[in-house]
Amino acid sequence: MPRREITYLQGIREGLQHVLRTHPETVLFGEDVAAFGGAFKMTTGFLDAFGADRVFDTPIAESAMLGAAIGMATQGLKPIVELQFADFATTALHQLLNNAGTLHYRTGVPVPLTVRAPCGGGFGGGPFHSEELEAIFCHMPGIKVVYPAFPSDARSLIVSAVLDPNPVIFLENKFLYRHVKEDVETDIAPVPLGCARICRPGTDATVVTYGAMVHTAIHAAETVAHETGAEVMVLDLRSLKPLDTQAILAAAATGRVLVLHEAWRTCGLGAEVAALIAEQAFHHLDAPVRRLTAPDCPVPFAPELEAAYRPDEPTVTEALLDLLET
Amino acid sequence: MNDRTRPNRDPVTLLRIMMISRAIEERLIRLYHQGKVYGGAYSGVGQEAPGAAACLAGEPHDLYAPLIRNMSVHVGRGAGPHHLFRQWLARASSPTRGRDGNIHHGDLSAGVYPMISHLGAMLPVVTGGVMARRRRGIPCIGFGFIGDGGSSTGDFHEAVNFAAVFDVPVVFIIEDNKFAYSTPTSRQFRCANLADRAPGYGIEGHRADGNDALALLDLLARLADDIRARPRPVLVAVDTMRMRGHGEHDDFAYAPRELLESYRARDPIAVCRDALLADGRLTDEQWHALEASIRTEVDQAAREVAAEPAPDPRTLLEGVYAPS
């Protein structure tokens, strides 16, 4: 099988192209996505390839975009909505939580809707272009949340998200868009929603993480292995809801768990993972579950402040060394 | 264009939809005061005309987004008293299987979206539904309902503007019923009439008497035919009056008596009945027979539904997600 290197952005792009090509009931819309190709050039060329009735720009109206997408999803289409930044989901949360998330429960009518939401910091986006809102999304019944870390997973999971009969929020880490590359096969391997993946094996400790922090964790684990010989497992959650609880509990068998995310700490996903392990895998633990997260403050702009805000390789390495000595 | 000879635009049917809606809601109000309705009781008594007229103006493949005062849309799109009592009495057989209550229901197979409580939120939904149906070659139009209070929301603006930009054929009907819960219209908008907002969206605005069902049917039928042929949204602001409190728990003390009386004198069912009696399209005998049959049907449905089983708590988690 021939292989070639693609970026994370290319992965999502190719997955979108695949699903638009193979499923005529898909439509893609959002702000600046058509002729302009999107703020991150994710959809460059899509307008020409798929036509103006399937790829189109909308007014700056997140609630109308998501509301219209819900209406479309109930009438045979599979809409893919691009939020220019995940941060802007907050102007339409009621459409996600109350309309999209409740419709099937209330009426039995599926809502096959995918919301693409570029998120995360590390590039000077400041408070309103860097937010990680996955905990808010995961709190909503009836919604699925996906957050890939690798180009291959991004390519596969966007296809799974679009074809799922439920509303799926597909979080795309902006920092990873062009920073992460991977050799992939030509064919898109199916990856189901709700399945985590061990992306670095290890027996001495576990990092449970997702998104950009997966790569930070892998680098930190390499450093730890080099310095101490300890082997740290890195579990990439890939889907945040449904959460792969079996994989998390199995990964906790190393006895030492660090949960890592670049989202805020209080009521973040780390709290959920730590609680799950405490409830169901306490007997495995040799040390308390640790959380390494962003602090509970708005995402700061200045590089010095953002560097202090966002977990990075040295802080993860330090946390792992500390955990291994506990 | 304005073809009342089409069977689905029959004025006696218009009257009948309003009468059934009124009878169901009056029965619900009674059940509420007897302590038999779980939760609140909200009605559209006095506001039956716009929904009934919109149903007759539309076609079977059209889409509707009714709100709290639009029982007549459910009735007009074929929901019978059993369906509606099951919902209000939270039976296992309710359209939401007991998962949602009172006015929060619909029937997408009949083109009726189930409302959520967030006002304005259904307007983009019906707009998107119409876009999708038309993309499939169905000459669908939509009817989106909102009140004077709901017209203050950002969603109202987003949806009307969105529909205007994409030339989506939706009739946005604002029922100005003078109060949003207890808040008078003076705290909702500054324009003289809500139809005045239409030019700001680049669309037509119409004013109508919300208590004259026959005139509303004329207007909505004309608009429906027109936007089906030449797709674009239109705004219709109807003048009407909420005749009861926000819900039955609300004593409505804030509503001036003389205002209520002025609208009571123009009750939409009486206005429509009198017009039809006056020009011979309805006889006294037909009127009395209609009244009696509706009363019997509604009473019987209420009795039968009350005896139906409640939802099984073991179904609590069923249907949160559609099976993948």
- pLDDT tens-digit profile of B183-209? 999 999 999 999 999 999 999 999 999
- Predicted confidence at residue B250, as pLDDT, reads 96
Best mutation target among A50, A72, A146 (most B Cβ atoms within 10 Å) is A72
> Beta-strand (E) ranges in B134-279?
142-147, 170-176, 179-180, 183-184, 204-209, 234-239
- Res. B255 pLDDT band, cuts 50 70 90: very high
What average pLDDT does this structure show over A280-309?
A: 97
Q: Is A77 on the interface with B (CB under 8 A)?
A: yes
Q: pLDDT by residue (tens digit) across A81-126?
A: 999 999 999 999 999 999 999 999 999 999 999 999 999 999 899 9
- Predicted confidence at residue A2, as pLDDT, reads 78
- Res. A14 pLDDT band, cuts 50 70 90: very high
- Predicted confidence at residue A229, as pLDDT, reads 98
Residues of B in contact with A75 (CB under 8 A): 63, 128-129, 132-133, 136
pLDDT value at B277 more than 90: yes
What average pLDDT does this structure show over B293-317?
A: 96
What strands lie across the sheet with A114-119, from one edge to the other? A55-57, A26-30, A78-82, A114-119, A168-173, A144-146, A239-241
CA distance readout (Å), A305 to A179, A225, A297: 21, 29, 11
- CB contact under 8 Å between A63 and B127, yes or no, is no
Q: pLDDT by residue (tens digit) across A116-151?
A: 999 999 989 999 999 999 999 999 999 999 999 999
For A110-123, b/e burial (b = at least 16 CB within 10 A) is bbbbbbbbbbbbbe
Best mutation target among A65, A74, A144, A166 (most B Cβ atoms within 10 Å) is A74
B142 close to B130: Cβ distance less than 8 angstroms: yes
Helices B11-33 and B284-306 cross at an angle (nearest 10°) of 40
- Res. A1 pLDDT band, cuts 50 70 90: low
Q: Which two tokens stand for residue B58?
A: 């539309």
pTM: predicted TM-score of the whole model, two decimal places: 0.96
- Predicted confidence at residue B7, as pLDDT, reads 59
pLDDT value at B1 more than 60: no
Sequence-ordered alpha helix ranges (H) in B78-166: 81-88, 122-135, 154-165
- Res. B72 pLDDT band, cuts 50 70 90: very high
CA dihedral B125, B131, B133, B138 (to 10 degrees): 140
pLDDT value at B6 more than 70: no
CA distance readout (Å), B266 to A106, B151, B241: 37, 25, 10
CA B128 and chain centroid, separation: 19
Of A63, A111, A192, which has the smallest distance from its Cβ to B124's Cβ?
A: A63
**Residue A129 among the catalytic residues:** yes
pLDDT value at B4 more than 50: no
Length of chain A: 326
Q: Is A60 on the interface with B (CB under 8 A)?
A: no
What average pLDDT does this structure show over A205-225?
A: 98
Q: Looking at A129, A139, A215, A226, which residue is catalytic?
A: A129
- Predicted confidence at residue B127, as pLDDT, reads 98
Q: pLDDT by residue (tens digit) across B103-147?
A: 899 999 999 999 999 999 999 999 999 999 999 999 999 999 999
- Predicted confidence at residue A326, as pLDDT, reads 87
What average pLDDT does this structure show over B162-182?
A: 98
pLDDT value at B2 more than 80: no
Which helix (H) or strand (E) element contains residue A235?
A: strand A232-236
Q: Is A102 on the interface with B (CB under 8 A)?
A: yes
What average pLDDT does this structure show over B26-40?
A: 93
- Could you tell me what percent of chain A has a pLDDT over 90? 98
- Res. B212 pLDDT band, cuts 50 70 90: very high
Q: Is A142 on the interface with B (CB under 8 A)?
A: yes
Q: Are strands B63-65 and A197-200 parallel, antiparallel or unpaired?
A: unpaired
B68 close to B234: Cβ distance less than 8 angstroms: no
